[in-house]
Amino acid sequence: MRAAPTILHLDMDAFYASAEQAAKPSLRGKPVVVGGLGPRGVVATASYEARRFGVHSAMPMAQARRLAPNAAYLVPRFSLYRTVSDQVMELLGRLSPLVEPLSLDEAFVDLEAGGTADDTASALAIGEQLREAIEAVTGLSGSVGLAGSKMLAKIASEEAKPDGILLIAPGTERDLLAPMPVRTLPGVGPATADHLRRAGMTTVNDLAEAGEAELVRLLGKAHGGSLHRMASGRDDRPVVAERDAKSVSVEDTFDTDLHDRVRVRSEVERLADRCVQRLRAAERSGRTVVLKVRRYDFSTLTRSETLRGPTDDPTVVREAAARLLESVDTTGGVRLLGVGVTGLADYTQEDLFAQAADERTAAGLAAAGPADSAEAGADAGTDDGRPEPGEPDPESAEQLAARRWPAGHDVRHDTHGHGWVQGSGVGRVTVRFEEPESAPGRVRTFRIDDPALRPADPLPLVRDPVDYSSWPASLPKSRSGPVSSGRESRP
C-alpha cells in the first residue's frame, strides 16, 4: 500500500453509448442502447438516460426493449470506439510509462512511475487535468479514481460516476470500505456473494471482522485469503504495462437456430476469417484452433486442433475449424458459433502443405478457364456455401439488408452527404443525415439497393481537437485545490 494516492483508474462514462450520442446530435440527452439487436442479443452499454428505465449492461435486449421501448437501439461501431480509445490511451501514456489497459474504455496508471504526482495535491490536480484533456480531444467524459492501490482506485472511479473525480486518501480505506456490499470487492460475483450471505456476511466490514481463517474455510485458501486482505484495505498489486493476451477469438449468436449444415459451415469459415483479422491486427500467430458450438438445448461443445506450428494463415485456420465442425452433431440446431486461436506467438511457421494446396487450387482454376470455372462453382454448392437448386436461401433478403445496413452505422449519400442508419426493413433503409458538429439532421428513406447510398467510415467526434503534444506541462491550472485528508469528490 502506498503512502500517497498515486494510482489512477480511468473509466469512460457509458463509453459506447456516449460515443454514439456525441456522433449523432439527434440522440443527445435521449436514451440510447448499444448491443446485439436480434432476439438473442444483449446490451453492451446503455446511456445514463436509458439506465433510468432500468436498462443495464449484459441485460437481454428483449428485456431492455420492454423497459425502454422508445430508446434508440444501435449496433456497436467498434472501429470508432477503438479510434477514441487510442486517443485516450495516448493521453494516459503521457502521464506514465506504466499504463495497464483493462478494456477499450478503462485503464490503470501509475503516476508515481511517470513522475507526474507524488502526493495528494499533485495527484488530484493531474486527475482533473486528465479529465479536461479527454473532453477536449474526444468530446467524451471519463470518471477518475485516485488511491494508494488498484482496488481502491477502481472503487473510487465507480463512486465518482458519471463525469467526476474521487480521491481516497491513504489511511481512510477501512472506514470507506466498511459499509459497502461484498460485491464491491474484485472477485466477488453473484455465486460468491450468495454463499457469503448465507454465512451472514453482506458488507465488507463483515468480511474483515470474520477473519482470514473463516473466509479460507468458506471459500478456500487462495480466494479466502485474497478476499480478507482486500476487505482490510490491503492490495499491493502493481500496475502492469504489458498484459500478454492468451487467446484471440470471435463468436456470434444467431437470431434463429441454424439447421442447414451448409450455412453452419459457411458461418464457421466467416468467423475463422474474422479471428485471423484480429490475430494479425495484434501482430500475433497461434498454434491451436478452437471451435465453440452452442446447440439448440444450450449445451456447449468445444473442439480443438493443435497445428504443427503457429500460423496467421486464414486458409489454415478455416480448414482446421471446418475439420473440427465435422466432429460435432448439429442436427437439432445451432444458436452460437465461435472460432478462436490459442497458444499465441509473435512469429509464424508457414504450413507448406497448406501453401501447396492453395497453389494447386489456383492452378486448377486458371487451367479450367472462365466457362469451366463457372460450371465448377455451380456444381460445388455444398463446398462454397451455396445451396443446391431448390433449397431455401441461407439468409433472406431482409437478413442480408440488416447485415449491410446495421442500425447506427455510418453511410454516405451522393446528394445528402454523411448520415447514419436508423433502421431497415421491407426493402428500405431509413437514414438520418447529420454529423457530430451539425444540428440534428433530416430523415430520408431509400431502397436498400440504391446506388447513391453506400457504407462509410465514422467521422471524428471532434473536428479540430486541441493539441496536447506537450501535455501535461502546458495544461491550464486545475480548478481544484489541495486536499488534506479523507476523500475528495468533484463533479
- Which residues are known catalytic residues? 106
Residues 6 or more apart whose Cβ sits within 8 Å of residue 342: 246, 247, 286, 287, 288, 290, 304
Give me 205's grid cell. 466490514
Burial (CB < 10 A; 0-12, 13-18, 19+), residue 243, is exposed
Give me 244's grid cell. 500478454
For 289: left if phi > 0, alpha if psi spans -120 to 50, otherwise beta; the answer is beta
Give me 480's grid cell. 481544484
153 residue type, one letter? A
Express the helix, strand and coil content of the chain in percent, nearest 5 each. 40, 25, 35
CA distance 104 to 121: 28
Give the number of C-alpha atoms closer than 13 A to the C-alpha of residue 181, restricted to the C-beta side. Answer: 8
Which is nearest to 92 in space by CA: 287, 241, 249? Answer: 241
Distances (CA, A) of 455 to 117, 406, 408, 482: 45, 10, 11, 50
Residues 6 or more apart whose Cβ sits within 8 Å of residue 401: 424, 425, 427, 429, 448
Instruction: State the CB neighbour count (10 A cutoff) for residue 176.
Output: 20
Pairing mode, strands 247-258 and 334-345: antiparallel
Give me 61's grid cell. 435486449
The secondary structure of residue 242, as a DSSP letter, is -
